[in-house]
Amino acid sequence: MKFSTKCVHASGGPDSTGAISHPIYMSSTFAHPELGAPGYQYTRESNPTRDRLQDLIAALEDGTDAFAYSSGMAAIDGALHLFQPGDHLILGDDLYGGSIRMFTNIYEQYGIEFTYVGTSDLDAVKAAIKPNTKGIYIETPTNPMMEITDLRELSEIAHNIGALVIVDNTFLSPYFQQPLNLGADIVIHSGTKFIGGHHDVISGFVIVKDEELAAKLRLSFKTIGACLSPMDCWLVIRGVKTLALRMEQHQKNAIALAEWLKTQPKVTKVLFPGLPEHPGYEINKSQTTGFGGMLSFEVDTEETAKKVLEGVELIQFAESLGGTESLLTYPVTQTHPDLKPEDAERKGITRRLLRLSVGIEDTDDLIADLAQAFNK
């Protein structure tokens, strides 16, 4: 099936009732017809509605197994359970701030060692490798600086030392990028974002191809219990049906807004992988089918940034991303407040930087809203 058809049908056909919309199985427990009979037992372990969603997400990422978690952070936590005290991981140095907070405040205390590297520089990645390096965790594009990593080359480097490659694919969604087909071992999503797509459900996903990895993940998944509820699973299934359509409009709007922002006198920099001048443009084109709906831009002063944030009317000043409504975010105080000021400044996450999650509204309306905010 083509991707857009998978979005609608890969969760499976109607059940025995003929229901086109798959039922929400709200039961916490299931009766057994006889001793030893196969089937469902307890929703923390498995649930028919969640199974439908997991099959759908696995199909979209071209994986063999997927795990639906209660949030994107829970999904990251689930993947980190594959590692042990004494292991070393290389991390991209421009990750979502919540991920950094988890690695620093939780997993470093458990004895896992981390080294942050700009993974667009593969020589820097090689230089960071240690005898105990067991994994490389990245985003591409990164949040919020939109840096691009060559997934094929990175995967080869990692696999040569027996390390796993974990890719947070939230920004592009499986519609535009499928890291498992580029050499990655594990794909993570905050399903709250583009996959759910409507700002109405929190969810996270881990997807793999390798059966051994899947078995390890399933053990921690059912044991810890950070699984997605049946109702939320149904909401995500419903959201995914329009994923392909939404991603095309997100991208159409993002390209137009990036080009418009370049012409604005108070904008000093536009960070969007779909601009030919972006340093990662060619690599991104080689490993994706598009550029997505996320961009960041820098303005001339902190005062301008504040004026734009408070001046938008159609676009909402809010944290998060990936939904039908456009959201403007201030990374330095919203997504990355835990960074040390000097680290934030070094990465370009300053009080002049804004991140825009471009929604599916009419392009001209979005441009008009930004224009009036700049000119207030």
Could you list the active site residues? 44, 96, 168, 193
Q: In what order do the strands lie in the sheet with 316-317?
A: 267-271, 294-299, 353-357, 327-329, 316-317
Is residue 297 within 8 Å of 350, Cβ to Cβ?
no
Characterise 303 by phi-psi region: left (phi > 0), alpha (psi -120 to 50), beta (else).
alpha
Nearest to 138 by CA among 169, 106, 102: 169
In sequence order, what are the beta bridge partners of 316?
327
In sequence order, what are the beta bridge partners of 298?
269, 353
Nearest to 56 by CA among 293, 235, 245, 249: 235
Structure tokens belonging to residue 296: 């960041």
User: How far apart (Å, rounded) are the C-alpha atoms in residues 172 and 154?
Assistant: 18
Q: In what order do the strands lie in the sheet with 88-92?
A: 65-69, 204-208, 186-190, 164-168, 133-139, 88-92, 113-117
Asked if omega into 141 is within 30° of 0 (cis), the reply is yes
